[in-house]
Amino acid sequence: MKARAIADHLLCTDGDFGDQTYGESGIILKDNSKLAQGQVSRWFKVFSKGEQLAEKYDEIEEGKWVYVQYGRWTPGFMLEDERFPDGKKKCWKIDPTGVMATADEKPAGHLNYKSDAIIAERLTR
């Protein structure tokens, strides 16, 4: 079975949750997504985009990475598709208005990884 997004939906995989390793030195940052300081924007890989998004969001393409504002995604769910190595993968429905940047390859880390930037972002909400 091949899954695909319909209408104005955006489905993404590979959300950057969990422990992350940086650089050649292998620095490991522990997952903090359940803590206040973990409420940050995240990178996701676009799996499928609905046909109604094609005209409105032409910079968002399947296979690209998108940087999404905190909270602009649903809780993850398992999606079955024959294109996944194990036949299923965790997937998130993303609000396309929350996409702040795109990249061809997954960037390392969060754009606002400094603690003062996270605090400033939180205070402005």
pLDDT score recorded for residue 115: 44
Q: What angle do CA 54, 50, 46 make, to 5 degrees?
A: 90
In this structure, are residues 42 and 16 in contact, taking their beta carbons and an 8 Å threshold?
yes
Judging by DSSP bridges, how do beta strands 77-80 and 27-29 pair with one another? unpaired
Q: Both tokens of residue 47?
A: 């799996």
Is it the case that residue 5 has pLDDT exceeding 90? Answer: yes
User: Where are the domains positioned within the chain?
Assistant: 10-123
Is it the case that residue 60 has pLDDT exceeding 80? Answer: yes
Return the percent helix, strand and coil in the chain, to nearest 5: 15, 30, 55
Interval 102-123: pLDDT, tens: 999 988 655 544 444 444 444 4
Interval 20-53: pLDDT, tens: 666 677 776 666 666 666 577 889 999 999 999 9
pLDDT score recorded for residue 107: 83
In this structure, are residues 27 and 108 in contact, taking their beta carbons and an 8 Å threshold?
no
**Percent of the chain whose pLDDT exceeds 90:** 55
Interval 66-89: pLDDT, tens: 999 988 999 999 999 999 999 999
Q: Both tokens of residue 93?
A: 């429905």
Which of 10, 12, 30 lies closest to 20 in space, CA to CA? 30
What pTM was estimated for this model as a whole? 0.76
pLDDT score recorded for residue 16: 79
pLDDT tier for residue 18 given thresholds of 50, 70 and 90: low
Q: Both tokens of residue 63?
A: 């296979």
pLDDT score recorded for residue 109: 58
